[in-house]
Amino acid sequence: MRRDSVGLPVPGPLPVASLARGDVSWAQDMARFQIPSGYSRIHIVTSFEELVATPLVAGTNALCWPRELPGDFGEVVKALGPGAGIEDLDDARIAKLKLSAAGRRAAELLLEDQRRLRDLHLDPVLNAIHEYRRDEGPGPVSTDVFSFHVDSAPVETDTWLCSYFGAPTEGLRNDQARRHVDLPKTRAALLERFGGEDAGEFSEYLREHHFDLHYAAEPNAEPFSFGLGNLWRVAVQWPGCPVPAFIHRAPAMVPGQPPRLLLIS
């Protein structure tokens, strides 16, 4: 079963206060994606077929198919009505929504992307995300989705992502991050909580609590947006994976704002 625990908030492109003010330039920037300058681990593809066929090898740990999708995804979100937490949206519910032509086009694209992934024997989930549950337990490393993290699985697999509406997922260069468990002060605090020696049982403790999946951004790090409409395939941490797993996190959520519309598999 995939471990997709997702820890400590790290400085992002703009503080939450700016989101609350409705900073238009921030929203526009976050809706776009540009490969970080001088970074070769992300590869751009031009079709779904290329996205599927391109291997994650030779240092490449993320593939992005940039798209400017037609349709009104905001209308889809509005038609879904109020909700709470994370709602799984099944095909029947999307198909039954009363929408204009623009809204219907967006809904068709949501269903089409899921069909594509199911044809690959994947199990995509479309979510309307009103709110994520925060890690309420005190400690040196939290493990909620607002932390930079990697996904993990016991077998070979990848993570597929697309943000259609709301703030997109954020990524972080591997060379601008360090695992929290590798930071001396953080590791010492975790070891004190564990109450034992820094040996095999401690490593298992870190793995069981997902601490080993979470990363701290370096002081000069520049997180980047996945953009809206772009379909991503990113590397997961699995035994024998030939490339480093891709580091990402959920964006800050502002109370009162419409939910995110996210596809994940």
Which of the four pLDDT bands, split at 50, 70 and 90, describes residue 155? very high
**Tell me, what's the pLDDT at 144?**
87
**Tell me, what's the pLDDT at 253?**
82
Across the range 160-179, mean pLDDT stands at 96
Q: What is the dihedral of CA 112, 115, 117, 118, to 10 degrees?
A: 170
Mean pLDDT estimate for the chain: 87
Distance in angstroms (rounded) separating the CA atoms of residues 138 and 252: 20
**Tell me, what's the pLDDT at 137?**
66
- Could you tell me which residues come within 8 angstroms of residue 86 by beta carbon, excluding any fewer than 6 positions away? 127, 128, 129, 130, 131, 132
Is residue 77 within 8 Å of residue 258, measured between CB atoms?
A: yes
Does 9 fall in a domain? no
- Could you tell me which residues come within 8 angstroms of residue 117 by beta carbon, excluding any fewer than 6 positions away? 123, 124, 160, 263, 265
Does 78 fall in a domain? yes
Does 213 fall in a domain? no
Between 46 and 34, name the one with better pLDDT: 46
Whether the predicted pLDDT of 37 surpasses 50? yes
Does 184 fall in a domain? no
| pTM, full prediction | 0.86
Distance in angstroms (rounded) separating the CA atoms of residues 95 and 110: 10
The number of distinct structural domains making up the chain is: 1
The DSSP 8-state label assigned to residue 84 in this structure reads -
- Per the structure, the complete domain to which residue 136 belongs is given by 16-178+219-264
Does 94 fall in a domain? yes
Give the CA radius of gyration of the chain. 19
Does 192 fall in a domain? no
Q: Give the side-chain half-sphere CA count within 13 A for 173.
A: 16
- Paired residues of 149 in beta bridges: 214, 248
Does 209 fall in a domain? no
Structure tokens at 31: 């809706």
**Tell me, what's the pLDDT at 225?**
94
pLDDT in tens, 189-202: 999 999 888 998 99
Distance in angstroms (rounded) separating the CA atoms of residues 39 and 237: 20
Between 27 and 89, name the one with better pLDDT: 89
**127-136, 150-159, 160-169, 240-249: the lowest-pLDDT one:** 127-136
Q: Which residue type is seen at 144?
A: D
Structure tokens at 60: 């490449």
CA 211 to chain centre: 17
What whole-number percentage of the chain has pLDDT above 70?
87
Q: What is the dihedral of CA 137, 139, 143, 144, to 10 degrees?
A: 50
pLDDT in tens, 14-26: 332 333 333 334 3
Does 196 fall in a domain? no
